[in-house]
Structures are given as C-alpha cells and as structure tokens.
Structure 1
Amino acid sequence: MNKLFSLVWVLCITAVAIIGFFMYTRLVPLKGLRNYNANDFEKEIERSSNHVLIDVREKTEYSKGFIPGAVNIPLSELKRRLDEVPKNREILLYCRGGMRSKQAAFILKKNGYTKISQLQGGILSWKGSIQQLS
C-alpha cells in the first residue's frame, strides 16, 4: 500500500510540475517582445513602412477576415517558412486571441529575429478595418 501511495504522490507532483511549466511558458512575457493594444498596433502599422505584418492563424481563419496588408504564415508552418520572414524588418504578429502570436514570437526569437511585436488580444481586439479574400 505504501508503494502505491508513493507512486500516486510522485505522479501528482510530476503533473503539477508539468502544468506549472506550461502555465509559466504561456503567461510570462517573452523578453524583447513588444505587446501593443489594438490602437497602438494600428498606429505602428501606419507609422512604419519597414515592417512585415504576419497573421499566424490557419488558412481557413485568415480567409474569413484579416488585417489589410497581412501575410498568412500559420504557426503550424512557421518553422519551415522562416525564409519568408526577413530578419532586417520589424515583424508584427497577430492571431485570434494572442497565444499563437506569442508562440510565433518565441520561434522567431529563437531563430535570431530581434524586432518582434504582437497584437495583444489578437484580431478579436482589433478595431480597424478587416479585409476578406474574394
């Protein structure tokens, strides 16, 4: 009985550690990532012509509506499409709610990108115009 109790205890501690790590990596700000609210993100798009606006949602989500000028590189494809993302330009990321763009920023940062910003709250927080594929 003591062995079973010990095993359950170890499994519980392991589960808590894994959940804690997962929450930490999702909620802690990524160093060097600029987070813009919708108004500031729109101003940043208008201010700089030396940027790449990337929508990291899946193609079906993108086709339903995207921020004008955005290129669709889904998070699921980002690692193999890094050659499409220039390192010498400001990278502006967004997704639906903000989690995937943060993951995309992590991938980019890990691959040497330094000028990375994201839209907090994703396109759900966007107040500007939306374009749809025709």
Structure 2
Amino acid sequence: MLGVALIALILYFVITMLRVRKAVTNLTQEQFIEGYRKAQLIDVREPKEFESGHILGARNIPYSQFRQRYKEIRPDKPVYLYDQNGGKSSRAALYLKKRNYSQLFQLQGGFRTWTGKVKSK
C-alpha cells in the first residue's frame, strides 16, 4: 500500500514538473535582467516580504490574492514572475497559462538568489 502511494506521489510531482516546464520559461538572473524592463515584473510574495526588499520596478500581486487580482496583468505583454524560491511563481504561471497568457517567465532560484538592484521601504 505504501509503495502505491509513493509511486502516485512521484507521478504527481513528475506531471506537475512537466506542466510547469511547458507553462513557464526559467531564466537565469542575466537573462531575467535582459528582458524584465520591457515586461510586467510581478513579485508574488506576501506584502511584508515585498516591502523588506524587491527587484526594482516590480509590482506586488501576492500569490494568496492571485485568483482575485490576476486580471491586473495584461495577457498581451510578457510576464516576469518571481517569489522567494520559485514554487509560488511556478504555480502562478500555471494559473496564468490556463487563462491563455503565453509569454511567461520566472527567475530561476527566486529572489533569494538575486544580486541585482533591490528596493526596500
């Protein structure tokens, strides 16, 4: 019984990983910097995390509010997403992909790996 559950869990993670890979393009920090000024830069972390420091020019649409606020993001322009580690931005990208957003990119490794310009309050 435990073996079946383990196989199901592994299968779930593999399928999710493939869906994410199809929905969003992971970018290194250098690639992210090259394109984010011409795109919509969205930080999906919670407001306190955002206020403690975020990429210069980013808009905060917390993942916890994403279903209510995703329409603030234009579907006709590239969307650059990031969070602390990459998990929430991947889920946000999957959500947007289901709603016909096509130009989706995320910062590989998340904000914790960011060494570029940061703004904090």
TM-score w.r.t. the length of structure 2 is 0.89
Compute the displacement of 1:108 (Å).
0.4
Counterpart check, 1:132 vs 2:120: yes
Counterpart check, 1:37 vs 2:25: no
Among candidates 106, 110, 115, match of residue 118 of structure 1 = 106
Alignment match, 1:89: 77
Compute the displacement of 1:100 (Å).
1.1
Q: How much is the aligned-residue C-alpha RMSD, in angstroms?
A: 1.6
- Count matched residues: 120
What is the rounded CA distance, in whole Å, between the counterparts of 1:76 and 1:25 in structure 2? 23
Answer whether contact 2:23 2:93 (CA < 8 A) is retained. Answer: no
For the structure 1 residues 35 and 23, does the alpha-carbon distance in structure 2 shift closer, same or farther, using more than 3 Å as the test?
Answer: same
In structure 2, stretches of 5+ residues that fail to align are none
Among candidates 27, 40, 57, match of residue 52 of structure 1 = 40
- Encode CA deviations 1:20-61: one digit per residue, 9 max, x unaligned: 144224533421422110111011124x2xx11000111111
Answer whether contact 1:26 1:99 (CA < 8 A) is retained. Answer: no
For the structure 1 residues 18 and 64, does the alpha-carbon distance in structure 2 shift closer, same or farther, using more than 3 Å as the test?
Answer: farther
| Other structure's SS at 1:31 match | helix
Answer whether contact 2:54 2:118 (CA < 8 A) is retained. Answer: yes
Answer whether contact 1:67 1:130 (CA < 8 A) is retained. Answer: yes
Q: Highest Rg: 1 or 2? A: 1
Give the 4+ runs in structure 1 shifted more than 6 A.
none
Among candidates 1, 7, 14, match of residue 24 of structure 1 = 14
In structure 1, stretches of 5+ residues that fail to align are 1-8
One-letter identity of the residue aligned with 2:46: E
Answer whether contact 1:38 1:119 (CA < 8 A) is retained. Answer: yes
- Encode CA deviations 1:81-121: one digit per residue, 9 max, x unaligned: 12211111110000101111111100000111001111000
Answer whether contact 2:23 2:94 (CA < 8 A) is retained. Answer: no
